[in-house]
Amino acid sequence: MDELLKLLRKNALESPSNIAKMLGLTEKEVKAKIAEYEKKGIIRGYQAIVNKDQLDLNTVRAVIEVKITPEREGGFDRIAARLGKFPEVESLSLMSGGYDLLVFVTGAHLKDVALFVSEKLATIEGVLSTSTHFMLKTYKDQGVLMETEKEDERLKVSP
């Protein structure tokens, strides 16, 4: 991955002037590159990584393994596109192995997720079976540990 993207993946709020210094570019070049990534759709958006467990939201998150019948034209894409439109779906991937789609969903209550699975997901034509797992605690999300890092234990001055 391009160094600029790596930096933004780590901290999307990094200022173009800082990025320019780190990469030995001009600020203008950095801005132009970012604009280009956005235009091409390589950068899809910027979000905060939130530790939801800390917020007492009582929301429920689940991972659902879905088996589907591939279609003659388009394989898994049509069903995936349909599923992706549901706002409950946080992320969605095609998998190799024992099932086809892995779906991450969020709901306000257990019931919401259950309803989503039984009424929306399972009823889609081509869906053969589903298997739902509820998430209990998140330890790491998008490369970020959810526990606060311990303090630097190094001596404050060393040769």
Partner 1 sequence: MKGSKFHRNFIASHLQGIPKSGIRDFFDIVSTRKDIISLSIGEPDFVTPWHIREASIFALDRGATAYTANLGLLELRLLLSKYITKSFHVEYDPTSEVLVTVGVSEAMDLAIRAITEPGDEIIYHEPCFVSYAPVIIMAHGKPVPVITKREDSFKLKPDMLKKKITNRTKAIILNFPNNPTGAVLERKDVEDIADIVIKNDLLVITDEIYSELTYEGERVCIASLPGMRERTIFLNGFSKTWAMTGFRVGFACAPAPLTDAMMKIHQYIMMCAPILSQKAAIEALKNGDSDIIEMCSEYRKRRNFICSSLNDMGLPCHIPKGAFYAFPYIGDYGMTSKDFSLKLLDKENVACVPGTAFGQSGEGFLRCSYATNMDDIKEAIIRIARFVKLLKKG
Positions that interact with partner 1 (CB under 8 A): 3, 7, 18, 21-24, 152, 154-159
**Closest by CA position to 75, among listed 98, 99, 100:** 100
* Residue 55 or 155 with smaller CB distance to partner 1: 155
Least distance CB 121 / partner 1 (angstroms): 37
* Residue 73 or 149 with smaller CB distance to partner 1: 149
**Closest by CA position to 95, among listed 133, 114, 68:** 68
Least distance CB 16 / partner 1 (angstroms): 13
Token look-up 């950095």 returns 30
Angle at 66 between CA 61 and CA 68, to 5 degrees: 155
* Residue 2 or 71 with smaller CB distance to partner 1: 2
Cα separation, 27 vs 18, whole angstroms: 8
* Residue 26 or 118 with smaller CB distance to partner 1: 26
Least distance CB 19 / partner 1 (angstroms): 9
Least distance CB 96 / partner 1 (angstroms): 24
Return the beta strands (E) in the chain as ranges: 60-68, 89-94, 101-107, 127-134, 140-141, 144-145
- All residues at 6 or more sequence positions from 114 whose CB lies less than 8 Å from its CB, including other chains: 132
Least distance CB 151 / partner 1 (angstroms): 12
* Residue 45 or 159 with smaller CB distance to partner 1: 159
